[in-house]
């Protein structure tokens, strides 16, 4: 889930791994939204419509 818009976005493993390695705390979602990573205990928000439509 993105801490900025409260939606659940799809993030590729590569983008997530790169963000973890760089220790930036953010990465690009499939839809292009910059996702600010939040705690895994945060409940998921509503899904991003663009992420669900893109392959």
Each residue's pLDDT tens digit, 1-49: 566 788 999 999 999 899 989 999 899 999 999 998 877 787 888 999 9
Position 13 scores a pLDDT of 92
Backbone φ/ψ region at 32: left (φ over 0), alpha (ψ -120 to 50), beta: left
pTM of this structure: 0.78
50 to 18, 28, 54, 55: CA distances (angstroms): 22, 13, 6, 10
Position 42 scores a pLDDT of 78
Three-state SS string over 1-36 comes to CECCCCCECCCCHHHHHHHHHHCCCEEECCCCCEEE
Position 46 scores a pLDDT of 94
Indicate the DSSP class of residue 44: P
């Amino acid at each position: 889930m993105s801490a900025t818009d409260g939606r659940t976005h799809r993030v590729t493993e590569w983008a997530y791994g790169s963000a973890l390695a760089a220790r930036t705390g953010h990465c690009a979602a499939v839809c292009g939204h910059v996702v600010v990573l939040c705690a895994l205990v945060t409940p998921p928000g509503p899904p991003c419509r663009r992420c669900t439509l893109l392959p």
